[in-house]
Amino acid sequence: MAAGKVDAVYVKGASAVDAARRAGVIVGIDLDGYPSRHTRVNNGTPRPITVSRDLLDNHFDLVVRFLEQTLRAADWAEHNLPALRGILQKETYAGAAGVETAYRNNFHRSLHPDLSEERVALLKQQANFLWLHGFLEHDVDVDAWIDRRPLEVALERRAAFTTGDRAA
C-alpha cells in the first residue's frame, strides 16, 4: 500500500496493526467494531480446541486436565488485563498500542472455552465457510464432531475446587 501497488489489505493481529500504523494506513472497515462476532468468522476464527479421537478415548483425563488449566488461565486473564496485555506484547512482538487495538472489546472476558449455542453456531459458520471455499473436502457435521464430556468434567472440577469440595 505504501508503494501504491495495492488499494487495500486485511490486517490481523497486534504486530500487523503496528506495521499498518507505521505505513500510515487508514482503516477502511474495522471488523472488530461490529457488535456481532458473526462478522469476524473466517478461516482462523473461532479457534476450537481439538484433540484426536485416540487421545480422547485413551487419555480422557489429560484432555480434562488441559481444559482445567485453560479455564484457570481464562479466570486469571479476566481479572488481570494489564498483565495480560504485557504478555501479549511479548508474544506478538507488538507495542502497547497494537495490542490494545488488536485485543479489545473486553476480549479478556471471553477466553473461557465453552460450548454455548453462540459458540457452536460460530463454529458451524466457520466450517461452512471453509467447506464452501474449498479448504475442506467435505461438509462437517459439527454437532456430531463435538464431544461435550471433557469440558463438562473440567467445569465440574473447577466448580468443586472453587467451593472447596476437592474430593469431586
pTM: 0.83
Q: CA 166, CA 26: separation in Å to the nearest integer? A: 53
Instruction: pLDDT band for 41, please (50, 70, 90 cuts).
Output: confident
Q: CA 128, CA 149: separation in Å to the nearest integer? A: 24
Q: Within 13 Å, how many C-alpha atoms sit on residue 154's CB side?
A: 22
Helix ranges (DSSP H) in 31-141: 53-58, 60-78, 81-92, 96-102, 117-132
pLDDT 10s digits, 64-97? 999 999 999 999 999 999 999 999 999 999 999 9
